[in-house]
Amino acid sequence: MKSIRAALCRAALCLVMLAGAASQAFAGPPFFTDDPEPVEFRHYEIYAGAEYTHDGDEVSGSLPFVEINFGAAPNLQLSGNLPLAYQRASSTPAAYALTSLEFGAKYRFVPEDAGRPQVSIYPQVVFGSSGPGGNGAPQYFVPLWAQKSYGPWTIFGGGGRWFNAAPPNQDFWFSGLCVQHDLPGGALVGIEVYHSTPEAFNTSDRTGVGAGFIAPIGHHHAILASFGRGIHGDNTFAGYVAYEFMLGPK
């Protein structure tokens, strides 16, 4: 993602809560909404953690997932995510398998200055299987993200369209807005609201709220956690926890 200062927002769980497991693509750990800031050139950010979703009589998520973000060039981040997904419902046996591979490229084409926000495009592709949480076909997400900082406060958000062709799914829109605040010692807290249009036939749109934090451990490590709940549509609860390790030239 970026430095600890701007890292607040992610959840591989991101669209599990919002629009089904097919939407578990990249956001800004530990929340659902992403930000436009790429990883620094020639630096790595590595996340390992777990995600949990409780939706009615179904429990799903990933344990573990591993996400790697790399600053391939100035203003360009390449990302990969490998989740081991689980799913359990009252009417079916529990399942646990590798169900998707996720790849993305974030490019910041507008830098932030005193009078304007920074802006990035972040196209992503999810190669899904038919296993737990899988979609059975590739999905694509094409979002725009923007961010502006005001002293210790940072506001970021945006959204885009999911191309989600495998029946009974359909294309849908996702959007989110997050407000974060820097704390003494480099920690961050934040809250967000997010929304998606119906991601499958005969389903409703969904809106949720979430809160989370990042606690740095030295200069190269951090603990991230978040939780959220649906307030319109499905009454879903979601949680996320991860360890972050940062590498790069000094």
pLDDT along the chain (250 residues), means of 10: 40 34 59 95 97 82 92 98 83 76 96 96 86 70 98 97 83 96 94 92 89 95 95 85 94
Here the tokens at position 113 are 């200055």
Return the exposure string of 144-181: e unless at least 16 CB atoms fall within 10 Å of the residue's CB, then b.
ebbbebeeeebbbbbbbebebebeebbebbbebebbbe
Give me the pLDDT at residue 26, please: 61
pLDDT averaged over every residue in the chain: 85
Give me the pLDDT at residue 242, please: 97
CB-based contacts of 4, cutoff 8 Å, min separation 6: 186, 188, 214, 216, 222, 246
Give me the pLDDT at residue 95, please: 80
Q: Is the dihedral of CA 91, 97, 103, 106 positive or negative?
A: positive
Give me the pLDDT at residue 200, please: 82
Residue whose tokens read 């429990």: 59
Parent domain of 47: 4-247
For residue 97, how far is the Cα from the chain centroid?
Answer: 20
CATH of the domain at 107: 2.40.160.40
Q: Radius of gyration of the chain from Cα atoms?
A: 17
pTM metric for this prediction: 0.84
Give me the pLDDT at residue 96, please: 78
Phi, psi of 241 (to 5 degrees): -145, 140
Give me the pLDDT at residue 173, please: 96
How far is the C-alpha of 24 from the C-alpha of 242, rounded, in Å?
15
Give me the pLDDT at residue 137, please: 80
Q: How many domains does the chain have?
A: 1
DSSP character at residue 23: G
How far is the C-alpha of 208 from the C-alpha of 235, rounded, in Å?
9
Q: Are 105 and 120 in contact (CB under 8 A)?
A: no
- The amino acid present at 145, given as its one-letter code, is W
DSSP character at residue 4: G
Give me the pLDDT at residue 121, please: 98
Give me the pLDDT at residue 204, please: 86
How far is the C-alpha of 114 from the C-alpha of 181, rounded, in Å?
18
In terms of Cα–Cα distance, which of 177, 176, 182 is closest to 214?
Answer: 182
